[in-house]
Amino acid sequence: MTIKVGLASDHRGVHIKARLLQTLQREGFDVCDEGTDTTDPVDYPDFAIRVAQQIRDGKLDRGVLICGTGIGMAIVANKFHGVRAASCYDEVIVEMSRRHNDVNVLCLPGDLIGERPVDELVLMWLRTEFESGRHSQRVDKITAIDSSDTPDINRGV
């Protein structure tokens, strides 16, 4: 099964996004480019929304969002039901975000990633499976919070 991946960035991640688009297509992923394509200043929420909505609606399996720190994109994406987004910047965090948290939207810090091999980080993330087991119970609790109006810590899941 081909993984459907949405890519989006603001102006601070446009160059990384362009490189990732080529890499992911070359590696056989079904990629949807949701912008931006310019270095002119834009608002990152406008682009995070495009990918997060498609994750929520089941049109995409995963998303990769890039802004200056990755934090703003993660905040926006996590507003959508069914989205588990995390800002990641190294191999350990990228791998654990998938293995333990079943993160479906990877948010990258365009300004902070430096010369790290970002293509390899993203490919690692896309190829890492969720471990399930004891982690499933935890992700289920997150999903329950996502589905309720007000989480009740005394109620449990």
Q: Which residue do the tokens 């896309």 mark?
A: 126
Respond yes or no: is residue 81 known to be catalytic. Answer: no
Instruction: From the candidates 11, 67, 88, 107, give the one annotated as an active-site residue.
Output: 67
- Tell me how far apart the alpha carbons of residues 63 and 95 are, in angstroms, rounded to a whole number: 15
Instruction: From the candidates 15, 81, 100, 107, give the one annotated as an active-site residue.
Output: 100
Respond yes or no: is residue 88 known to be catalytic. Answer: no
* Radius of gyration (C-alpha) of the chain in whole angstroms: 15
- Cβ-contact 17, 33 below 8 angstroms: yes
The dihedral built from the CA positions of residue 102, 103, 104 and 106, taken in this order, carries a sign that is: negative
- Cβ-contact 107, 71 below 8 angstroms: yes
Neighbours of 26 (CB within 10 A): 9
Give the catalytic positions in this structure: 67, 100
